[in-house]
Amino acid sequence: PDTMALFTIWEKMLEKKEHIALVVDEYGGLNGIVTMEDVIETLLGLEIVDETDTVIDMQKFARERWKTRQAKYSLIDKLSNEDE
């Protein structure tokens, strides 16, 4: 498969009236999905929050989850320890 620019994905999803698309790797294997919401958020540079979202700040949520897992599994943060 070829690579595809984000705006091209946007146009194809609109044209085909699709809200979700599969992402495949160079071997044709499934690599993930992309949704219309993902495309819009990336194009606008904003996080779309709707009534089903329980977390508003995903970056803050990810940092908190990392800290919890780091403490639980005694993980080392390579970025924090590079200066030591």
State the pLDDT at residue 44: 84
Averaged pLDDT of the chain: 82
Q: What is the pTM of this model?
A: 0.55
pLDDT digits over 10-51, tens only? 999 999 999 999 999 888 899 999 999 899 988 887 777 777
User: Per DSSP, what are the bridge partners of residue 30?
Assistant: 24
Going from N- to C-terminal start, the domains of the chain cover 6-76
**Number of other residues whose CB lies within 10 A of the CB of residue 34:** 16
State the pLDDT at residue 4: 87
Distance (Å, whole) CA 13 – CA 37:
11
Considering the four listed CATH numbers 3.40.1190.20, 1.10.3720.10, 3.90.1280.20, 3.40.50.150, the one that applies to the domain covering 6-76 is 3.90.1280.20
Distance (Å, whole) CA 11 – CA 19:
12
State the pLDDT at residue 72: 81
Say if residue 79's pLDDT is above 90: no
What value does the mean pLDDT take over residues 50-79? 77
User: Per DSSP, what are the bridge partners of residue 33?
Assistant: 22
